[in-house]
Structure 1
Amino acid sequence: MGKQDILEILRRYKKEVVNEYKILKIGIFGSISRGEANDESDVDIVIRVSEPDFFMLAGIKNDLEDRLKKPVDIVTYTDSMNAFLKKRIDNEAVYA
């Protein structure tokens, strides 16, 4: 599954759950966004939500792993996040 396929799945997912999860932005970063992924790569997801919640993020992770058929790592984008990770996401992220 390529980058554009993943972004399309994320677009559809966001439309389906935007009211339930209050997703403001969702996208990919990491090896998939850089075009360096292989069959073993996980999908690095960046998400910005209006009201972050552990159980909500666990639900999103499970939903996306079911849809993408790959392991998913989710990072919640916030103003107070680790500066190194924030810069990396700012440089690499492609949003759905």
Structure 2
Amino acid sequence: MQRKEVLQILSENKKDLTERYGLKKMGIFGSVAKNIATSDSDIDIVVEMAPDILLRAELKQELERILGNKVDLIRYWKRMNHYLKQHIDKEALYV
């Protein structure tokens, strides 16, 4: 999927997803954000939300349903891997 299409779908669903899952922030990073994704690429999504693993699993399934593509969902938090955090900080595009 192209960056513009993913950002549009996420924007259209942001209000509902925020209410249902308590999202504080949501964005994309990785190949889709760089607009170099191939047909085999997953969509890397970063969210700020409560540390609830069941809720995060449900959100991942919902994102895959609305995007029609495999999603790699990362929860952004202060103790996450330093290198991943830097990577996300550098390239994430938020909706």
Same fold (TM over 0.5): yes
Q: Which residue of structure 1 aligns with residue 37 of structure 2?
A: 37
- Unaligned stretches of 5+ in structure 1? none
Deviation, 1:19, is 2.2
Q: Which moved more, 1:14-23 or 1:28-37?
A: 14-23
Letter in 2 for 1:55: L
Residues 3 and 34 in structure 2, CA contact (< 8 A), matched pair in contact too = no
Give me the identity figure in percent.
Answer: 40
Matches of 1:39 and 1:66, distance apart in 2: 17
- Unaligned stretches of 5+ in structure 2? none
Matches of 2:53 and 2:59, distance apart in 1: 10
Deviation, 1:88, is 0.2
Matches of 2:20 and 2:39, distance apart in 1: 32
Letter in 2 for 1:6: V
Letter in 2 for 1:36: I
Give runs of aligned pairs for residues 2-21 of structure 1, distance below 5 A: 2-21=2-21
Q: Which residue of structure 1 aligns with residue 72 of structure 2?
A: 73
Deviation, 1:89, is 0.2
The number of equivalent residue pairs is: 95
Question: 2:74 is paired with a residue of what secondary structure?
Answer: strand
Q: Which runs of 4+ in 1 moved over 3 A?
A: none
Give runs of aligned pairs for residues 84-95 of structure 1, distance below 5 A: 84-95=83-94
Matches of 2:20 and 2:38, distance apart in 1: 33
Deviation, 1:22, is 1.0
Deviation, 1:17, is 2.6
Q: Which moved more, 1:81-90 or 1:11-20?
A: 11-20
Deviation, 1:5, is 1.2
Residues 63 and 71 in structure 2, CA contact (< 8 A), matched pair in contact too = yes
Question: 1:81 is paired with a residue of what secondary structure?
Answer: coil
